[in-house]
Structure 1
């Protein structure tokens, strides 16, 4: 399967992966605003022209990270029996783990989103990127819709079917509440100078479902 991907496209995918990794490493040391395109290009040994060919603006790296993160979660849920509240807690657990592995990246994403007028669309992945990130699972990964709203909606509806949430609750209101928890609980944990992200997520989820 990989042999069918043109070498040029494979190199592009590897370069984007290297840029993302460089970004994660630098954001672990300082804020995203202090990370400059020149610095990323030096680490990956490419020109700024090449960088902007892949990412029209630096902040697109944050969306690329979120796209891959969401696809990873969708694949995990597709391959496990988790649903409803258990699926939501799986997402929050992964956020907790990622906060420790890649400190600062989610805060950078939250900061970027505060400047946007609407939640940005997730970037598309190329065939080469599916092969690079999801070997052996390319077709399944490509079939998944990278929509956080749809994922939250599915979890809420499953929780209602399983009687974990009262059936008379408004689905859209709960989804909006989950967006607030997804980003807000992370920020609150940071403001409280805590590393116990999962406890803050559980607290907010309990308040939402009362």
Structure 2
């Protein structure tokens, strides 16, 4: 078991941040971001708005907080499957698309980046990672990005760095874009859209 030199105040702060995030993502399973009020989340968690804004600068930052943990979990889960190449990429998209709030999360984070000109990633310390998924932490997993996860699949594709970069851009475009298209076309199943997208762009020689 890992030991952290964390006082009760710091421990309570980390626990409350995660509690806020869980309550927020649960609401996102039903509602778009603009329909969720900070006060509603505070009422669920049992905190004041002052406390909320001591921990997060905005509703979007709560989603960013979740995205970091989501990617952390995906890295851990994918490693357990021992999938590689094309199968790894399909599984990543499948796991993301299967989340009940995936469409709302992806649309919200995309809009956040569109309107943010000076983005600075939030800091998540090791104790927060441990609280979220102690098994992953104890096995040496740390924060990663969706780009890093895609690169693990594309590493099986023996081509130039320029081709890898182009494919990475295509994957990222579809990763966020399919959620947006699902919204404007009123399609029901994000995973079906993801699968069709991957079928159309992944090279046949990526095994």
TM-score between the two structures when normalised by the length of structure 2: 0.83
Structure 1 segments unaligned to the other structure (5+ residues): 162-166
CA shift at 1:87, angstroms? 1.0
- What is aligned with 2:126? 127
Q: Residues of 2 paired with 1:153 and 1:105: CA distance? A: 22
> How many residues of Structure 1 are paired with residues of Structure 2 in the alignment?
201
Q: Is the 8 A contact 1:67 1:123 kept in 2?
A: no
- What is aligned with 1:37? 38
Q: Residues of 2 paired with 1:156 and 1:122: CA distance? A: 25
Distance 1:195 1:121, change over 3 A: farther
- What is aligned with 1:14? 15
Moved more, 88-97 or 18-27: 18-27
Q: Residues of 1 paired with 2:103 and 2:166: CA distance? A: 30
- What is aligned with 2:111? 111
Residue of structure 2 aligned with 1:201, choices 176, 187, 194 = 194
Q: Superposition RMSD on alpha carbons, in Å?
A: 2.5
Please state if 1:152 is matched with 2:157: no
User: SS of the counterpart of 2:155?
Assistant: helix
TM-score between the two structures when normalised by the length of structure 1: 0.82
- What is aligned with 1:185? 178
Q: Residues of 1 paired with 2:77 and 2:39: CA distance? A: 35
